[in-house]
Structure 1
Amino acid sequence: MRRALILQMWIVLFLGTFSRMGNAQVANAKVLRGNSITTDLYRSDENITVTSAGGFISSPNYPKAYPRNLCLSWKLLSPPGTVIHLEFDEQFNIEEPVKGKCSYDYVEVEEKSQSSTIKWGRWCGQKAPSSLTSKSNTLRITFKSDDYFVAKPGFKIHYSLVGDTNLEAAPELLSDMGTNEMPTTEVPQTLEDLDKTIATFDTIEELLKSLSPATWRQDLESIYTQTYIYYRSKSYHLASRQNKVDLNRLHDDVKRFSCTPRNYSVNLREELKTTNAVFFPRCLLVKRCGGNCGCGTNNWNTGCSCQPLKTTTKLHEVLKYSPETSPYKQQQQKQRVRWVIGEIFLSHHETCECACPLQPPR
């Protein structure tokens, strides 16, 4: 009787161990990424009307860990004549990227209009932009998680309305928004017109104020903070605005050095129009006016030419050889090549100016 009881206990322990091993194998199979045993994605699409009151979007369970197998989408719509501003919460953490790419869990922002699609970025890990502002009144935010790792706290994005908030009082505009989308300012319709408009401004602030007076501050900041999926500029990684690329300085440098004296190498025989002598060195450096007439200004590509305003003549000493003419052919053939120090004068340009067809005579 006692032996039978002991045998029964050993059988129970053996079956329990086998059962736990089997369950562990199934559990491991379910979490293997790319395995066929997965749970279907939970999908959700939501439309949100953005008003002056604003609001926020967050990952489920924020600030706790978000669930697995999600594909959530929010479409943000604002009244015509307005744009949408997004602020990312500092507590941001989604599954880390793999080989620098957010392939598994990520939050993505894109903007689609009738003429173009802007992919503002796809973010994961612990880095996200502080803010960004749309160019139109429609944004789409997508959050995706797979069936493997999760992280916390996830993400939280605050959205707000930028532009003419008085439109909120007109229900008929809200019900029709997106069908009669209008820009906040009159923007040139073609790239050629926009290029000509840019030439009239000296600073990036003046340009953005003219094109987008309601959102120019956010637009200026987004130049240094917005990111794209395939490329991040060095400016994005620098710590402060003072250390970032100075677009105004680059613009001033182009105007300052477009038409300036610069080194050119000239062939002495061609420059002096001499055919009965040779020189060493064959070429010398001289200062000559060069460059276009202010690329980025109104004078660009309008027939203007870079011409010298002040010219000076400088003396150069070189080796010179001139064969002597002799009536005796045999004596000429035996003549040695004799080099002498020769003095030549070359023209140098000290200052330059742009001469334009429409420019009045001085």
Structure 2
Amino acid sequence: MNGAMVFQMWIILLLATLSKVGKAQVANAKVLRGNSRRDDLYHKDENITVTPVGGVIFSPNYPKAYPRNLRLSWKLLAPPGNLIHLQFDEQFHLEEPANGKCSYDFVEVEEKSQTNTIKWGRWCGQKAPSSLTSKSSMLRIIFNSDDYFVAKPGFKIYYSLLGDANWEAVTELMSDMGANEMPATEVPQTLEDLDRTIATFDTIEQLLQSLSPDTWRQDLDNIYTQTYIYYRSKSYHLASRQNKVDLNRLHDDVKRYSCTPRNYSVNLREELKTTNAVFFPRCLLVKRCGGNCGCGTNNWNTGCTCQPSKTTTKLHEVLKYAPETTPYKHQQRQRVRWVIDEIFLSHHEMCECACPLQPPR
């Protein structure tokens, strides 16, 4: 066998080895996609009592991109004799499926008892059901995100009660689960419950749709024409709908301007921590973050603080007086020394609410 043939055989063996190594790396990459860095997975399980006013569940940071490494679940419990209705928002977008399967980021709905489990489905990408209704008084919603790609806006699901359930089915479910496992819940009817529910909605349309799915459009029109209130507002007398009060705009204004940069007057001696000088003017206006964190939203009154997310330093020219001690005929004497001085003050350009209950980013 000559040298050329040996060299050709060596090349063939080398290519075959590289091919095997490449396939092994691809296989390992697929394994790592689902298993790497899962030690920092954020778990949270929440039980929710479904009331007549309903509510909403959404991905963290909605409508912005949701965080990585999440495993969240919501267990919805309805009073016995009621079913649970879920309505998916049209703006649904998670990480796209892989090979036609939702393996990485997904929303899953299941209905489970001791003897039976109904998997309503698992959804990702931009495909989700418009709505579904449970067969019992208990549902579980699961949201999973892995440690790779994320998407926005995520998901938002409205939940509400449906009465007049099939009592034979409920009785059968009770016998399957056992009396001790049925949720012994009462339907809260307090204004505090309704107030907390309102905080989860962004528009008046979404609120009314959750409270009364069948008549919400009529209810929305009746807001401006209802006659059972003690007075009729100016909006009632306006002929065109576009001239009437925009409740959604009022709600957006509160959220937009609750935590914003605004003018504050600061004392220069205190701001600069200077005790050996005085200034004219004594105070200057600076931009500093102020206001509460979204009054009327879920973050209201939950320990959130308004903090700067972007700051800048600006130059100001002021008149400064610093006493100067000089020797004069063997005596210490002070003389007036006024100068134009340059000082730098910190201004807040952008603000955000920092909340201790937010999941890791």
TM-score normalized with structure 1 length: 0.45
Q: Which has the greater radius of gyration?
A: 1
TM-score, scaled relative to structure 2: 0.45
